Amino acid sequence: MSEGSFPLLGSKVASFEAKTTHGIIKFPDNYKGKWVVLFSHPADFTPVCTTEFVAFQKRYDDFKKLNTELIGLSIDQVFSHMKWVEWIKEKLDVEIKFPIIADDMGEIAKKLGMVHPGKGTNTVRAVFIIDDKGIVRTVLYYPQEIGRNMDEILRAVKALQTSDKYKVATPANWPNNDFLGDEVIIPPPGSEKEAKERLEKYGDNCYDWWFCHKKLEE
């Protein structure tokens, strides 16, 4: 991946070493076997970013249950991150437990396509969901003016892990789809023979041979 390019789905995430509020990290080496939500914010001590960090922290344990780590990033120095985290604790009574990368030279942000030329040197609100093998699985990109929905990011991690484990697809708004509820979608058949067998196998759980669904088998 070249500098300034946008990470593609299914590509290996870029490697880097960085200073964070929790010390030096080597990414993704230090996170082998873990899923990661790596996200950038425009700047410390800004209102929308503050609400986002609180929202991420409120769901910190939910991400941990999914074997998922959170990592923040902005083009600020580490002392700024530390002071901001301290302010959030003092004023909002929320302790930020995940590390924040101090990308004060902007090198990591450029490598990951987190800087928009029309927004100066600030990072935009980028989100990368990276799986336990270091593969980029989801990319979300928000303008500076719009705060993110952390429940959607958490849902995306759950959906990806479910898809990987059970070899299925998840419908819109899963697990609260308008007509399938929490059921999942069975991958399309690869042959005419398989299409006929599918209708026999799943019966009433098929709208047609190309659209079959089922409850998850835990």
Q: Is residue 94 part of a domain?
A: yes
The two three-digit tokens of residue 137, written as one number: 């699985």
- Kindly tell me if the per-residue pLDDT of 3 is higher than 50: no
> Is 124 in the same domain as 216?
no
Whether residues 105 and 65 share a domain: the answer is yes
In the chain, the number of structural domains is 2
- Secondary element (H or E) of residue 141: strand 136-142
**65 and 104 housed in the same domain:** yes
Interatomic CA distance for residues 141 and 153, integer angstroms = 12
The reply to whether 171 and 139 lie within a common domain is no
Residue 216 sits in a domain whose CATH number is 3.30.1020.10
Q: Please identify which residue in the block is written with the tokens 């952390």.
A: 150
Extract the tokens encoding 200: 């026999």
For residue 39, is pLDDT > 70?
yes
CATH code at position 130? 3.40.30.10
Residue 133 lies in a domain: yes
Catalytic residues: 49
Confidence of residue 120 (pLDDT cuts 50, 70, 90): low
Task: Indicate if 142 and 209 belong to the same structural domain.
Answer: no
| Banded pLDDT at 6 (limits 50, 70, 90) | confident
pLDDT at 4 over 90: no
Model confidence at 8: pLDDT above 60: yes
* Distance from C-alpha of 119 to C-alpha of 124, rounded to nearest angstrom: 8
What's the burial of 34, exposed, middle or buried (CB within 10 Å: 0-12/13-18/19+)?
Answer: middle
Q: Answer whether 136's CB lies under 8 Å from 10's CB.
A: yes
Tens digits of residue pLDDT in 48-106? 999 999 999 999 999 999 999 999 999 889 999 999 999 999 999 999 999 999 988 78
Q: Are 48 and 106 in contact (CB under 8 A)?
A: no
Query: What integer is the mean pLDDT of 175-183?
Result: 97
Quick one: CA torsion of 165, 10, 154, 60, rounded to 10 degrees?
100
Same structural domain, 86 and 185: no
Residue 104 placed within a domain? yes
176 — pLDDT class (breaks 50, 70, 90) = very high
Q: Which domain holds residue 55?
A: 16-147
198 assigned to some structural domain: yes
User: 30-34, 42-46, 140-144: which has the highest mean pLDDT?
Assistant: 30-34
Q: What is the pTM of this model?
A: 0.92
Q: Report residue 212 as tokens.
A: 């079959």
What pLDDT is stored for residue 217 in this prediction? 76
Is 162 domain-assigned? no
What pLDDT score does 122 carry?
65
pLDDT one-digit tens code per residue, 96-111: 999 999 988 788 888 8
Residue 218 pLDDT > 90, yes or no? no
Q: Are the beta carbons of 15 and 28 closer than 8 angstroms?
A: yes
Average pLDDT of the chain to the nearest whole number: 92
Q: Could you tell me if 121 and 45 lie in one domain? A: yes
Region of 181 on the Ramachandran plot (φ > 0 left; ψ -120 to 50 alpha; else beta): left
Residue 185 CB burial class (10 angstroms; 0-12, 13-18, ≥19): middle
Lowest mean pLDDT among 7-16, 78-87, 118-127, 193-202: 118-127
Torsion of CA 19, 23, 25, 31, to 10 degrees: -140
